[in-house]
């Protein structure tokens, strides 16, 4: 799954149609987690993300050792949350 400053929350989270916000990615992570037990990776593309509120991660957002949920900067790109 991908998030980009050039994305849209109407996208599907793919590389070509990334989400715009981390909140939208969080909602998709929760939906995917409810449907399957596989690992989930959220790739955040480089750029500055202006957030009007905090992103709260809790037990709903946690994976397991066998099915981790990973949030990461894509390919070492620089991500700034502001």
Residue 20 near residue 48 (C-beta atoms within 8 A): no
- Model pLDDT, residue 59: 86
- List the structure tokens of 49: 């993300």
Residues 12-22, mean pLDDT to the nearest whole number: 98
- Model pLDDT, residue 60: 86
Across the beta sheet with 2-3, the strand order is: 2-3, 40-44, 69-73
pLDDT at residue 36 tops 90: no
Average pLDDT, the chain: 95
Residue 26 near residue 56 (C-beta atoms within 8 A): no
Residues 33-41, mean pLDDT to the nearest whole number: 90
């Amino acid at each position: 799954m991908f998030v980009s400053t050039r994305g849209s929350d109407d996208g599907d989270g793919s590389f070509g149609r990334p989400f715009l916000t981390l909140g939208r990615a969080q909602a998709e992570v929760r939906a995917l987690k409810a449907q399957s037990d596989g690992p989930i990776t959220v790739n955040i593309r480089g750029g500055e993300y202006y957030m009007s509120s905090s992103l709260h991660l809790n037990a709903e957002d946690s994976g397991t050792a066998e099915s981790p949920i990973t949030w990461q900067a894509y390919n070492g790109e620089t991500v700034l949350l502001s």
